[in-house]
Amino acid sequence: MPTNPDRELLKNLFNSFKPDTPLEPGDPRYVEFQEVRGDEDIRTELGGYIINDESNTYQLYSGHRGSGKSTELKRLAKYLEDEGFIVVYFAAATDDAGDLSFQDTQYQDILLSCTRQLLEKLRDVDDKPLREWLKKRWQKLIDLALTEVKLEKLTLDAAIPMFSKITAAVRTEPSKREEIRKLVEADTESLVQALNEFIESARRQGDRAANKIVVIADNLDRIVPTYPEGESSNLEDIFINRSELMRSLRCHMVYTAPISLLYSKSASDLQDIYGKPQILPMVMVQERDSEDLVPDGMKLLREAVRRRVAKVCDRDLVPEVFESDRVLDLLCFSCGGHLRDLMHVARNAVNLAVELPIKEKQVKRAIANFRPAYLAALNEEEWPLLLEVHGAKRKPNDAEGKYRDLLAKRCILEYRFFDEDEEELATWYDVHPLIRGSKLFRERWALHQEKGNEG
């Protein structure tokens, strides 16, 4: 059997398009999309407040999952470090690690996660306040089988694994999770006080006395919303009802928040508490008022693909890796400006190829492979809402959250641009191209237009 000369290169390309790994600052694969994302820059929008405000700030950052928030937050962390800040960035949870359970998160869990991360980052700071907090609850920790360390040996090196074990139990052991929450709930004030003393020690230490501390808690937007009957949702409880706690640490805080919460009836309350949240929109690939492509958006998405390819080979993007510009544009448009979807579809197209260049049929098949999941996410009663958004290019405010749910599922996507004629930031919405490209959507859209003409 003849050897495929492209086999190893295809494998390398496949791994270059990994969709779930945020890019570190300075990564050559990073592309600046600011001009096709409403001209907003996280370093200005969030970083400016942190740098300029004499007090501590508490801010929210949101957007569709997979839109590139973690990559942008890592850039913010590097920018602030270069400005002299002490930055504690952490992903509060991932699919297989971290401190939180996506399915069941409460505010106590977030406080414990911040505690562990501050200890990890600031290992050279006197941790006596936090060790004292643990000592007073030692018997309870023993009862929960969370420690075998003898009390007299509770040092900094022992305290860090102790908090790691506590947060691991919160994530993976539901039976212990509730007991730990009760422990923290009863002594929240003392834990916050101990943390703030720890933070003050970090500020005073050595040549960092003039520096401020910034904590960036990423991935909180992945918390699954729950709606107990007759009660606030878990998200409202965390970010609004318990906002005093979320704003209790004496340092700058940046929290990621689910996009569904920012478009809920609580939006004005959130703005009162945290200031104007920044939302990372999609990369514009199509004009709002026509089916024309946005040249700058498409160009930058092509550049994102090119840089992933350049990481593993020096072949020309077209026609050596993709057979034509048409095929590459088809790939880029299919994601609707959603970067993770772009990586997923590109990866699948590479997987389907047996040799280079990648053909149109392989890209079309890759797109078809990812379309069913979006269609399956739609309930029958949501189709009229979907068609309305596509026609009007806007998302009506809705008390019941129906359009908000479509946004959270990425069935509709948010775009922004600065409208120079109106001198305002314009926000608009459309249906994800993976849905729009389906036969089912085309049929329903045609019927919807017929009914509109009859009316």
pLDDT at residue 358, rounded to an integer: 97
Show the tokens assigned to 155.
Answer: 């040092």
Which of 155-169, 182-196, 414-428 is least confident? 155-169
Which of 16-20, 132-136, 152-156 is least confident? 152-156
Q: Which residues pair with 104 in a beta bridge?
A: 101
CA geometry: angle 70, 308, 91, nearest 5 deg: 15
pLDDT at residue 250, rounded to an integer: 94
- Going by the DSSP 8-state scheme, the letter that residue 36 receives in this structure is G
Burial class (CB in 10 A: 0-12, 13-18, 19+), 96: exposed
Element (H, E) at 361: helix 360-376
pLDDT of 437 over the 90 cut: yes
pLDDT of 209 over the 50 cut: no
Cα–Cα distance measured from residue 159 to residue 147, given in angstroms and rounded to the nearest whole number = 10
Q: Do residues 251 and 213 touch, judged by C-beta distance below 8 A?
A: yes
pLDDT at residue 211, rounded to an integer: 66
79: pLDDT confidence band, cut at 50, 70 and 90?
A: very high
Show the tokens assigned to 51.
Answer: 């740098």
Helices (H), 205-314: 234-236, 243-246, 259-262, 267-274, 295-310
The answer for residues whose C-beta is within 8 angstroms of residue 192's C-beta and 6 or more apart is: 111, 245, 248, 249
Higher pLDDT residue, 2 or 119?
A: 119
The answer for residues whose C-beta is within 8 angstroms of residue 177's C-beta and 6 or more apart is: 101, 104, 109, 169, 170
Mean pLDDT of the chain: 90
pLDDT at residue 216, rounded to an integer: 97
Q: Which residues pair with 414 in a beta bridge?
A: 429
Average pLDDT over residues 161-189: 88
pLDDT at residue 455, rounded to an integer: 56
pTM score of the predicted model:
0.92
3-class state of residue 280 by DSSP: strand
pLDDT at residue 311, rounded to an integer: 94
Calculate the alpha carbon distances from 202 to 114, 115, 298 in Å. 15, 13, 46
Show the tokens assigned to 179.
Answer: 């007991």
Kindly compute the dihedral angle of the four CA atoms of residues 345, 347, 352, 353, in this order, to the nearest 10 degrees: 120
Higher pLDDT residue, 213 or 207?
A: 213
Average pLDDT over residues 437-455: 88
Q: Does domain 41-280 have CATH number 3.40.50.300?
A: yes
DSSP 39-97: T--HHHHTHHHHHH-SS--EEEEEE-TTSSHHHHHHHHHHHHHHTT-EEEEEESB-SS-
pLDDT at residue 141, rounded to an integer: 81
Higher pLDDT residue, 94 or 299?
A: 299
Helices (H), 84-207: 107-121, 128-135, 138-143, 156-172, 174-186, 188-204
pLDDT of 107 over the 50 cut: yes
pLDDT at residue 123, rounded to an integer: 82
**Nearest partner of 407 among 264, 283, 284, judged by Cα:** 264
The answer for residues whose C-beta is within 8 angstroms of residue 35's C-beta and 6 or more apart is: 296, 300
Domain ranges of the chain: 1-38+281-455, 41-280
Average pLDDT over residues 257-267: 89
Which of 158-172, 259-273, 275-289 is least confident? 158-172
User: What is the percent of the chain with per-residue pLDDT over 70, rounded to a whole number?
Assistant: 95
pLDDT at residue 399, rounded to an integer: 66
Q: Do residues 443 and 437 touch, judged by C-beta distance below 8 A?
A: no
The answer for residues whose C-beta is within 8 angstroms of residue 449's C-beta and 6 or more apart is: none
DSSP 292-317: -B-HHHHHHHHHHHHHHHHTT----I
pLDDT of 340-389, one tens digit each?
Answer: 999 999 999 999 999 999 999 999 999 999 999 999 999 999 999 999 99
Place of tokens 């729950």: 226
Average pLDDT over residues 405-432: 90
pLDDT of 136-174, one tens digit each?
Answer: 888 888 787 777 666 666 676 777 788 888 888 888 888
pLDDT of 206 over the 60 cut: no
Residue 417 phi, psi dihedral angles, 5° rounding? -155, 155
442: pLDDT confidence band, cut at 50, 70 and 90?
A: very high
pLDDT of 208 over the 60 cut: no
pLDDT at residue 96, rounded to an integer: 65
Burial class (CB in 10 A: 0-12, 13-18, 19+), 278: buried
Average pLDDT over residues 8-17: 96
- Going by the DSSP 8-state scheme, the letter that residue 101 receives in this structure is B
**Nearest partner of 195 among 311, 69, 324, 88, judged by Cα:** 88
